[in-house]
């Protein structure tokens, strides 16, 4: 549907020129209703701008709904702050509209003074080793999406074997390990996807090995996340290291207090051979996967790893293969070595860094010049790192640039306010507006209450759209 003529051309009014104070009267489209999109929307609304928020899924909130682990319900509560923003009179929510599929970026730009892209990073980084595509070798992106009920990831990872290996030592790796190993009874009160909960009840996984290419000093996870893992009922956490290996990795290290505390905690964990419990997590440092090997059915069963040594100053040290290898049995291999942004048609993309080239949020063209009226914020701007709150400063920097540009009058708008709605309607796009979302939200919460769970999600977009057509359309907004 990208490209082509724009229905509603006849209704277009061409508006050009300066907006007196940057904010009031400014019409902005934000693409992506995750944290970056909401933080930016709040800042723009405060300045009197009109914001239309486009989201490819019916449900808003991005990784707050579909990334943050279900047993981190407190963190998910940030969604209530985003909900308040969404209810502002100056904001319209266009859920179930994928930019690049239902409407082109250039088409959108023709209808707004400015377009801000906050689409996050939807894909994963690959290991790049033989056997990576065997059955049972999956990405953390897909596992996280699966247990959080994301419509793109309906398939369960195979949980019929005893040992899962998670490659990576960041917070996402720890999230995945925790959800796989903790007793499913403890996940029941959360908003974990129903099918995922059932599959985890039946899961045979009893050991998760977390594999890091570097040492404890360089491990990216936060100490708090590791401590949470050690507090799980019926789960033991230990370190799988050869005698002297950890000590050698720490020699001569001068560490900041946070890293020192993390390293001391790791050093105090029991060694693998001292563990006796039925469920366990093992941290294994200084090892990189070199090959995944499968059985006759093409299912992963073994990982060949190369042992590494560190080169360079602690914290910034690089892992260098020693040539020494060994094998590790694995019934499931999950790569958790980072998310990766995917390009959006008609938007410049730096494939090497997997971000949109930008200067403080202003999108840069291939020739290095600023593309007027086009901006980025969040993970698509700076890469897939940082907590939810990190996106606030990032979004504010971009909004500052947008307001400065608007005050200078560098914008062009062609479509009138209703033209974009007409365009989507003419294409048969079923826009999920915020009242629709509030009905879905209320139904999910109600289903959760009935079963002692935080909420019960519906994964399938088709089912949600069908459901929206059936019950009476009483407005949740009017009811509140
Ligand atoms: C597994 C995981 C766990 C995390 N846990 C925590 C945690 O516990 N605490 C914490 O503070 N942070 C956590 N984070 C980090 C936090 O989620 C991110 O910092 C934040 O979500 C990034 O915000 P964003 O808006 O850039 O991207 P996203 O949250 O990814 O939002 C992007 C939105 O854009 C939409 N979109 C994409 N393409 C299009 C398109 N073409 N058209 C329209 N819409 C589109 C997507 O559907 C999505 O809703 C976690 C991240 C991950 C991956």
SS3 of residue 85 by DSSP: helix
Taking Cα atoms as reference points, which of 442, 459, 445, 446 lies closest to residue 196? Answer: 459
Kindly state whether residues 193 and 117 are assigned to the same domain: no
The residue range of the domain holding 330 is 125-337
Instruction: Return left, alpha or beta for 411; rule: phi > 0 is left, psi -120 to 50 is alpha, else beta.
Output: beta
Distance from CA of residue 68 to its chain's centroid?
Answer: 8
The residues near 245 (Cβ < 8 Å, ≥ 6 apart) are: 285, 286
Query: Does the model's pTM come out above 0.85?
Result: yes
* 218 in a structural domain: yes
Helix (H, G, I), strand (E, B) or coil at 309: strand
Of 310, 337, 364, the one marking the end of a domain is: 337
In a domain, 438, yes or no: no
Angle at the Cα of 38 from the Cα atoms of 52 and 408, rounded to 5 degrees: 65
Residues facing residue 328 across a β-bridge: 303
Q: What is the pLDDT of residue 125?
A: 96
Q: How many angstroms is it from 64 CA to the middle of ligand 1?
A: 6
CB-based contact 282:165 (threshold 8 Å): no
Rounded distance from Cα 284 to ligand 1 centre (Å): 28
Q: What pLDDT, on the 0 to 100 scale, is given for residue 253?
A: 66
User: Does a structural domain hold residue 459?
Assistant: no
The answer on 254 and 160 residing in a single domain is: yes
Per-residue pLDDT, 4:
31
Same domain, 214 and 250: yes
Domain boundary among 302, 321, 337: 337
Q: Which residues pair with 135 in a beta bridge?
A: 299
Residue 302 sits in a domain of what CATH number?
3.50.50.60
State the pLDDT at residue 415.
65
Residue 356, domain member (yes or no): yes
For residue 362, the domain's CATH number is 3.40.50.720
Dihedral of CA atoms 411, 417, 418, 419 in degrees, nearest 10, equals -10
Residue 362 shares a structural domain with residue 401: yes
Q: How far apart are the first and last CA of the chain?
A: 37
Q: Confirm whether 27 is domain-assigned.
A: yes
- Displacement of CA 274 from its chain's centroid (Å): 36
pLDDT confidence of residue 251: 63
359-367 contacts at long range (C-beta below 8 A, 24 or more positions apart): 360/397, 360/398, 360/400, 360/401, 361/394, 361/397, 361/398, 361/399, 361/401, 361/402, 362/398, 362/401, 362/405, 363/117
- pLDDT by 10s per residue, the chain, length 480: 223 333 333 223 333 344 444 677 899 999 999 999 999 999 999 999 999 999 999 999 999 999 999 999 999 999 999 999 999 999 999 999 999 999 999 999 999 999 999 999 999 999 999 999 999 999 999 999 999 999 999 999 999 999 999 999 999 999 999 999 999 999 999 999 999 999 999 999 999 999 999 999 999 999 999 999 999 999 999 999 877 777 766 666 678 889 889 988 999 999 999 999 899 999 999 999 999 999 999 999 999 999 999 998 888 889 999 999 999 999 999 999 999 999 999 999 999 999 999 999 999 999 999 999 999 999 999 999 999 999 999 999 999 999 999 998 756 566 666 789 999 999 999 999 999 999 999 999 999 999 999 999 999 999 999 999 985 555 444 333
- Ligand 1 atom index nearest CA of 101: 41
Tell me how far apart the alpha carbons of residues 339 and 342 are, in angstroms, rounded to a whole number: 10
Closest C-alpha residue for ligand 1 atom 50:
68
Q: What is the DSSP pairing of strand 412-413 with strand 300-311?
A: unpaired
Distance from the CA of 70 to the center of ligand 1, in angstroms?
15
Ligand 1: centre distance to CA 379 (Å): 7
Q: Are residues 320 and 367 in the same domain?
A: no
Q: Are residues 269 and 307 in the same domain?
A: yes
What distance in Å separates the CA atoms of residue 373 and residue 375, rounded to the nearest whole number? 7
The count of structural domains within the chain is 2
Chosen domain end from 313, 337, 361: 337
Domain check: are 138 and 194 in the same one?
yes
Which residues partner with 302 through β-bridges? 293, 329
φ/ψ of 239, rounded to 5, equals -115, 130
Ligand 1 atom closest to residue 121's alpha carbon, by position in its atom list = 30
Q: How many CB atoms lie within 10 A of CB 355?
A: 19
Q: Are residues 219 and 90 in the same domain?
A: no
Residue pair 327/131 in contact by the 8 Å Cβ criterion: no
Spacing, Cα 336 to ligand 1 middle (Å): 16
Phi first, then psi: what are they for 455, rounded to 5°?
-165, 160
One domain for residues 300 and 262: yes
Report residues whose beta carbon is within 6 angstroms of any ligand 1 atom: 31-37, 54-57, 62-63, 67-68, 72, 75, 98-100, 118-120, 122, 144, 172, 175, 339, 344, 378-379, 386-388, 390-391
Residue whose Cα lies nearest atom 49 of ligand 1: it is 62
Task: List Cα–Cα distances, 2 to 107, 108, 303, 347, in angstroms.
Answer: 8, 11, 43, 13
Ligand 1 centre from 129 Cα, in Å?
27
Three-class secondary structure of residue 234 per DSSP? coil
- Is there a single domain that holds both residue 264 and residue 406? no
Q: Which atom of ligand 1 is nearest to the CA of 342?
A: 38
Residue 412 covered by a domain: yes
For residue 412, the surrounding DSSP H or E stretch is strand 412-413
In this structure, are 201 and 333 located in the same domain? yes
C-beta separation of 174 from 226 below 8 A: yes
What pLDDT does 312 receive? 87
Distance (Å, whole) CA 313 – CA 215: 12
Structural domain includes residue 446: no
pLDDT value of residue 301: 98
Nearest CA to 457 among 202, 200, 196?
196
Q: Whose CA is nearest to atom 16 of ligand 1?
A: 388
- What's the Rg (C-alpha) of the chain? 24
Say if 2 falls within a structural domain: no
Cα(437) to ligand 1 centroid in Å equals: 18
Which atom of ligand 1 is closest in space to residue 385's alpha carbon? Answer: 19
Query: How close is the Cα of 71 to the center of ligand 1, in Å?
Result: 17
User: How far is ligand 1, taken at its centre, from the CA of residue 39, in Å?
Assistant: 12
For residues 61 and 182, membership in a common domain is answered with no
CB 286 within 8 A of CB 214: yes
Closest ligand 1 atom to 380 CA: 26
């Amino acid at each position: 549907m990208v490209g082509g003529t724009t229905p509603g051309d006849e209704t277009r009014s061409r508006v050009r020129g300066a907006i007196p104070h940057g904010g009031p009267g400014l019409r902005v489209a934000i693409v992506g209703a995750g944290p970056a999109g909401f933080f930016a929307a709040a800042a723009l609304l405060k300045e009197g701008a009109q914001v239309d928020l486009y989201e490819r899924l019916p449900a808003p909130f991005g990784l707050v709904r579909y990334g943050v682990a279900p047993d981190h319900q407190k963190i998910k509560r940030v969604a209530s702050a985003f909900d308040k923003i969404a209810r502002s009179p100056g904001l319209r929510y266009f859920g179930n509209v994928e930019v690049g599929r239902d409407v082109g970026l250039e088409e959108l730009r023709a209808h707004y003074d400015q377009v801000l892209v906050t689409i996050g990073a939807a894909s994963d980084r690959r290991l790049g080793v033989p056997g990576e595509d065997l059955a049972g070798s999956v990405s953390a992106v897909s596992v996280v999406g699966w247990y959080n009920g994301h419509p793109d990831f309906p398939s369960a990872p195979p949980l019929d074997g005893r040992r899962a290996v998670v490659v990576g030592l960041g917070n996402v790796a720890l999230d995945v390990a925790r959800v796989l190993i903790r007793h499913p009874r403890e996940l029941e009160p959360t908003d974990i996807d129903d099918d995922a909960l059932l599959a985890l009840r039946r899961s045979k996984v009893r050991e998760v090995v977390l594999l890091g290419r570097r040492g404890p000093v360089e491990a990216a996870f936060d100490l708090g996340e590791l401590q949470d893992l050690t507090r799980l009922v019926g789960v033991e956490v230990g370190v799988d290291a050869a005698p002297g290996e950890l000590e050698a990795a720490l020699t001569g290290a001068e560490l900041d207090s946070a890293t020192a505390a993390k390293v001391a905690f790791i050093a105090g964990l029991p060694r693998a051979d001292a563990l006796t419990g039925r469920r366990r997590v093992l941290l294994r440092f200084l090892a990189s996967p070199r090959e995944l090997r499968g059985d006759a059915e093409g299912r992963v069963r073994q990982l060949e790893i190369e042992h590494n040594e560190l080169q360079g100053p602690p914290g910034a040290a690089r892992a260098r293969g020693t040539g020494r290898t060994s094998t590790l049995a694995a019934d499931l291999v999950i790569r958790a070595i980072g998310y990766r942004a995917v390009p959006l048609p008609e938007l410049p993309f730096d494939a090497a860094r997997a971000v949109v080239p930008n200067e403080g949020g202003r999108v840069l063209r291939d020739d290095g010049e600023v593309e007027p009226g086009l901006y980025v914020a969040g993970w698509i701007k700076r890469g897939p790192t940082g907590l939810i709150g990190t996106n606030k400063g990032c979004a504010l920097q971009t909004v500052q640039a947008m307001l400065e540009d608007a005050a200078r009058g560098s914008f062009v708008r062609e479509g009138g306010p209703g033209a974009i709605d007409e365009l989507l309607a003419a294409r048969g796009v079923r826009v999920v507006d915020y009242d629709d979302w509030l009905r879905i939200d209320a139904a999910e919460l109600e289903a959760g209450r009935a079963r002692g769970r935080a909420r019960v999600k519906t994964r399938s977009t088709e089912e949600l759209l069908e459901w929206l057509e059936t019950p009476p359309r009483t407005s949740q907004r009017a009811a509140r």
